[in-house]
Structure 1
Amino acid sequence: MFYYTVYLSDASNALNQEKTDILIDQLESCYVGNELSGMIACIKGVSVNGLKGLCIQVFEGPRYAVQEAISIIEMDPSRKCEWVYSGITESRNFNGILSAYEYINLDTHPQFCAIFELNPNALKLKPRHAGDILLKFLKRFLKDASNN
């Protein structure tokens, strides 16, 4: 399984469980049955070594949805973050973000397994539906984070 993860270091609302529950409800309401082209496992607030942030977990896609979501975050290039990818943590801002499109392979880097809490009922969605939901969530998430 592969995951794409970004931590927003200034997003203090990331650990809001109610927000995570609302998002999962939205994903479930867009379940599309047999028309399967991607899975989002979970989008969750996390805290790793005191760094609070947003974890986007994706099973084999929909990559487009993640890329679109990151493009919204990129609108604020001054926002500081830590990327965790391919087992390496890199502190950076969002300039040149395309160079960070890599995945974590948990078979290769098992130390990351403890970070993730997976939704056991991973939701299979059309990329367009998943992308719409993910973008709405991230817009709200970033707005909330900027107010703190």
Structure 2
Amino acid sequence: MLAKSDEARRFRALEEAAELSQREVRAGTRDAFGKPITKRARPPRPRTMTPADRVEPDTDAIVAAYSDEGLTVPEIAEAQGISQHTVYRHLKAASVPLRAKTALPDEAELVRLYESGLSIRQIAKQFSASTVPVHRRLLAAGVTMRPAKGAVRSAA
């Protein structure tokens, strides 16, 4: 293997001989007559679907399936043959309020469970939900939060 200085010297000699830049020498972009080799333009790829083939889903049908029939976004996407993102885009365009992904009980039940001594984490686990919506709903209900276990209490 050539040392870096030997390699650099060799490139300089080639550049001077061919009046080429180092990049051109490395890339080999000149033919035997010193003319630049241009890349041939590739033919455009055939489209699998043209814009004319694309059918925009019916927003009213999506809204009806979500609001009236109670179908989930994945169910609507599969039935319509579109992506979930497209379903969300149509629901947002129609200003449809989205349902929560997890079914938490009403605030009164959450407050009852919390005041019975269960932690937010235990309540969330019971309903296969995150602690964040449970905590937010408890705060919205006006519950005074207990200090977390292991939290340092200030001496007042």
Bin of the TM-score, shorter chain as denominator length:
under 0.3
Higher relative contact order (CA 8 A, sep 6+): 1
Q: Based on CA coordinates, which of the two structures has the bigger radius of gyration?
A: 2
Q: TM-score, normalised by structure 2?
A: 0.17
Which structure shows the higher strand fraction? 1
Q: TM-score, normalised by structure 1?
A: 0.18
Which structure shows the higher helix fraction? 2
